[in-house]
């Protein structure tokens, strides 16, 4: 087995995606430099262009007290200054500002918006004039602007309201505080849901979610900042228990009438990806059963709320996970694009509104990661994905690299017609101009920190380069970062790993290793961008003499449905098997001390960290698990049941993944960390594990961050990583 692993390593070394070599300089980096929230951390992030965005047909960005920009093919100039903006604010009766605010572009016209003193200001960049002034509610949230009627939908506590351009407010719902929430995101933000209101095209109607959580028990989070600690109620449906009920209403502004869609029984299901038809007569909803293995795309009448058509159904033995609603073509109200993993990889399909499949738009062993919009003519859709680059000899895609493509929408084509818009090898993320003729291309690669280009979507040519960021670590002591490949535990699937080695590595010495792990869905740790995704803490620890290793095991993202869903019903099994293949590889390296292997991870990675420590107590000497899932029966319904089904349906899977039952296996040093206000992995998980360890006579260590949610953010994050570092120094180094 060792010989096979060494062969895989040799092959992997030939295929390294990038390497950052050690610096001859002696300047040291601190946690304040390397951890987000640190006092000097912004200096060590590759430079980007402040507030770079599209406004009408102009690109804009902030520089000092000015906003600069222009048309992509024209000359760049000063668009306006803070002084000019203050003159406009004075004329409108508003207070002046001491620095440029954070702008957004709510309309396709040459209008910017920003918040100042609880007002949202709309500013015409050409007229130098405030054209709208919205007094925001002090407790209002979830503001959603409609360009057609210039109104904002927003929520006030659990009810939905509309703020009109004249400052008047319409009340859409008036529900009592009994566990009913309107106009907010539902289903724990799963299935691509990130808001709860949906304006129609002409602004005459507003679709919104109504979620009845009254049957879901209240989970008692505790606020300790009050004079006497106060309970903060949070509805948290756990796997196998009662779930909330969601309905969709259509509010008509002219009449004040609400029409409810007849989505019917059962009530415990998921209503996702709400989309208006181009003529505003219908609503499309991707409806998913609670078991999450069958999805129906349905169309409902806005007039009477009745179902008009069940367009098509998707089923899967593991799960179906719709993330995007129908995307209608700009020049054709009768055709739309649908994203689906039905053939194993996330791809695009062209449909007619009667539910007929016209053709596949993309195909192959790669995934579409994002749909950006359409070109100026509307005959091509612009996407990002992991499709192989045209100059590559590899026939399948790589999750290490992301490129942009223009895909032909001709319904008579017999195969995918795609033109690559990215000619630099690495990772590209684009933002289209309003008309789709141009794009801002943000690019990076293992040895390229950040480049920003303006490109034409018509011919993929770079019009001008706005930024070429320098290496922010120039002159500092740096580790060596390498990427390679090895076989998964199934003996056939190729996995990607990243290893970060101490500067001036001595092949004759033995070094401790820390495996940084996540291992779950919707995450990819080993990438093809700057330093291959190496984190600041990885750099810090490698500089202190540790080897940091990360492997994207089966179950992680951007490798297709089979790769990710292999974890279904048995969380922690295949992922741990793959991580142990990584351990075998590490043991094959002459400079690795196999008696000093540690592991660290957060959330799903905290589950993996704890599981590895308890399942292989003779391998792992030290571990730090943050926000760990300990017992999946106490995790929320949407995520938990997708990957595990219910505890009633899968008792063996839940039992095998219940880490409290392994508490007696603990031999080495395990530190658990949790935030007291964590509403994602509730505090009960790690507290229950402590009780199990007391009962089993084992002795983990524990640290709590009062007031923090699922992640420790802000400057407290420096304290977190100092705590983690000290723990590994005490018990692994």
DSSP result, 56-88: TTEEEEEETTEEEEE-TTS--EEEEEHHHHHHH
Q: Classify residue 120: in a domain, yes or no.
A: no
Write out the residue range of the structural domain in which residue 515 sits.
2-45+473-731
Are 178 and 39 in the same domain?
no
Q: What is the pLDDT of residue 204?
A: 98
Instruction: Specify whether 39 is located in the same domain as 159.
Output: no
- List residues bridging with 384 in a β-sheet: 370, 404
- Alpha-carbon radius of gyration of the chain: 27
Which are the catalytic amino acids? 603, 678, 710
- Asked whether residue 540 is assigned to any structural domain, the reply reads yes
Residue that terminates a domain, selected from 322, 357, 391: 322
Is residue 542 one of the residues assigned to a domain?
Answer: yes
Are residues 182 and 40 both part of a single domain?
no
503 and 628 belong to one structural domain: yes
Answer yes or no: do 536 and 672 share one domain. Answer: yes
> pLDDT tens-digit profile of 386-405?
999 887 655 566 899 999 99
Would you mind telling me the total number of residues written for the chain in this entry? Answer: 733
Q: Which of 322, 337, 363 is the last residue of a domain?
A: 322
499 with 640, same domain?
A: yes
Q: Is residue 456 part of a domain?
A: no
CA 506 to chain centroid, in Å, comes to 38
> Is 218 among the domain residues?
yes
Which domain CATH number covers 303?
Answer: 2.140.10.30
Per-residue model confidence as pLDDT tens digits over 317-364: 999 999 999 999 998 999 999 999 999 999 999 999 999 999 999 999
Predicted local confidence at residue 177, as pLDDT: 82
Domain assignment present for 519:
yes
- Show Cβ contacts of residue 528 under 8 Å, excluding neighbours closer than 6 positions: 17, 18, 398, 400, 401, 402, 426, 427, 445, 446
| Helix or strand run (H / E) with residue 727 | helix 716-731
At 686, which CATH number? 3.40.50.1820
Name the domain count of the chain: 2
pLDDT average, residue stretch 627-652: 98
Q: Is 275 helix (H, G, I), strand (E, B) or coil?
A: strand
Residue 103, in any domain of the structure: no
For residue range 65-105, list pLDDT tens digits in order.
999 999 999 999 999 999 999 999 999 999 999 999 999 99
For residue 561, give every residue at least 6 positions away whose Cβ sits within 8 Å of its Cβ, in sequence order, or none.
316, 318, 341, 344, 345, 346
Same domain, 691 and 555: yes
Beta bridge partners of 335: 352
Taking residues 456-464, what's their average pLDDT? Answer: 95
| pLDDT greater than 90 at residue 480 | yes
- Final residue before a domain boundary, out of 322, 352, 374: 322
Residue 559 is assigned to a structural domain of this protein: yes
Give the mean pLDDT of 479-483.
Answer: 97
At 178, is the pLDDT very low, low, confident or very high (cuts 50, 70, 90)? confident
């Amino acid at each position: 087995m060792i010989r096979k692993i060494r062969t895989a390593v040799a092959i992997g070394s030939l295929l390294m995606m990038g390497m950052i070599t050690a610096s001859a300089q002696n300047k040291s980096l601190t946690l304040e430099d390397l951890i987000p929230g640190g006092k000097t951390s912004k200096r060590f992030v590759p430079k980007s262009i402040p507030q770079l965005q599209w406004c009408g047909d102009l690109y804009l960005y902030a520089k000092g007290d000015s906003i600069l920009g222009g048309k992509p093919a024209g000359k760049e100039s000063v668009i306006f200054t803070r002084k000019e903006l203050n003159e406009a604010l004075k004329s409108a009766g508003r207070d002046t500002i001491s620095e440029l605010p954070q702008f957004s572009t709510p309309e396709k016209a040459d209008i910017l918006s920003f918040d100042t003193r609880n007002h949202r200001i709309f500013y015409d960049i050409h007229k130098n004039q405030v054209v709208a002034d919205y007094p925001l509610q002090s407790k209002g949230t979830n503001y959603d602007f409609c360009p057609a009627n210039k109104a904002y939908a927003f929520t006030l506590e659990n009810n939905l309201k509309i703020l009109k351009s004249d400052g008047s407010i319409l009340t859409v719902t008036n529900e009592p505080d009994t566990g009913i929430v309107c106009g907010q995101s539902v289903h724990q933000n799963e299935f691509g849901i990130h808001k709860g209101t949906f304006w129609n095209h002409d602004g005459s109607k507003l679709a919104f979610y109504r979620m009845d959580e009254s049957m879901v028990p209240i989970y008692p989070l505790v606020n300790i900042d009050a004079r006497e600690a106060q309970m903060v109620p949070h509805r948290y449906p756990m796997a196998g228990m009662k779930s909330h009920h969601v309905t969709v209403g259509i509010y008509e502004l002219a009449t004040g009438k609400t029409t409810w869609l007849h989505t019917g029984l059962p009530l415990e299901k998921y209503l996702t990806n709400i989309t208006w038809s181009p003529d505003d007569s219908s609503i499309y909803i991707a409806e998913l059963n609670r078991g999450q293995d069958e999805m129906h795309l349905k169309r409902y009448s806005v007039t009477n709320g009745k179902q008009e058509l069940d367009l098509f159904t998707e089923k899967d033995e593991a799960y179906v996970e719709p993330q995007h609603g129908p995307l209608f073509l700009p020049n054709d109200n009768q055709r739309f694009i649908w994203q689906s993993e039905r053939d194993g990889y996330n791809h695009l399909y062209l449909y007619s509104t009667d539910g007929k499949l016209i053709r596949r738009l993309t195909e192959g062993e790669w995934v579409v990661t994002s749909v950006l919009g359409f070109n100026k003519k509307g005959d091509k859709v612009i996407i990002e994905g992991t499709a192989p680059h045209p100059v590559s000899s590899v026939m399948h895609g790589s999750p290490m690299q992301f490129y942009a493509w223009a895909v032909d929408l001709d319904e008579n084509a017999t195969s995918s017609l795609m033109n690559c818009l990215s000619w630099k090898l690495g990772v590209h993320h684009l933002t289209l101009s309003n008309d789709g003729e141009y794009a801002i291309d943000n690019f990076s690669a293992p040895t390229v920190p950040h480049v920003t280009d303006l490109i034409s979507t018509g011919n993929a040519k770079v019009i001008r380069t706005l930024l070429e960021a320098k290496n922010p670590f120039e002159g500092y002591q740096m580790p060596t970062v390498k990427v390679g490949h090895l076989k998964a535990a199934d003996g056939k699937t190729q996995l990607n790993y990243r290893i970060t080695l101490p500067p001036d590595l001595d092949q004759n010495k033995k070094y401790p290793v820390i495996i940084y792990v996540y291992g779950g869905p919707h995450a990819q740790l080993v990438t093809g961008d700057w330093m291959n995704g190496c984190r600041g803490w990885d750099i810090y620890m490698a500089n202190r003499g540790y080897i940091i290793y990360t492997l994207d095991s089966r179950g992680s993202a951007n490798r297709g449905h089979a790769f990710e869903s292999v974890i279904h019903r048995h969380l922690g099994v295949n992922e741990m098997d793959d991580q142990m293949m990584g351990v075998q590889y590490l043991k094959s390296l002459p400079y690795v001390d196999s008696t000093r292997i540690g592991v660290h991870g957060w959330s799903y990675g905290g589950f993996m960290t704890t599981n590895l420590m308890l399942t292989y107590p003779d391998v792992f000497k030290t571990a730090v698990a943050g926000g760990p899932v300990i017992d999946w029966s106490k995790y929320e319904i949407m995520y938990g049941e997708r990957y595990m089904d219910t505890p009633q349906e899968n008792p063996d899977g839940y039992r095998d993944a219940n880490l409290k039952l392994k508490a007696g296996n603990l031999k080495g040093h395990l530190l658990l960390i949790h935030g007291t206000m964590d509403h994602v992995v509730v505090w009960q998980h790690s507290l229950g594990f402590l009780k199990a360890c007391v009962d089993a006579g084992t002795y983990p260590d524990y640290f709590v961050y009062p007031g923090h949610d699922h992640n420790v953010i802000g400057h407290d994050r420096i304290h977190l990583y100092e705590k983690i570092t000290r723990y590994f120094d005490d018990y692994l180094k």
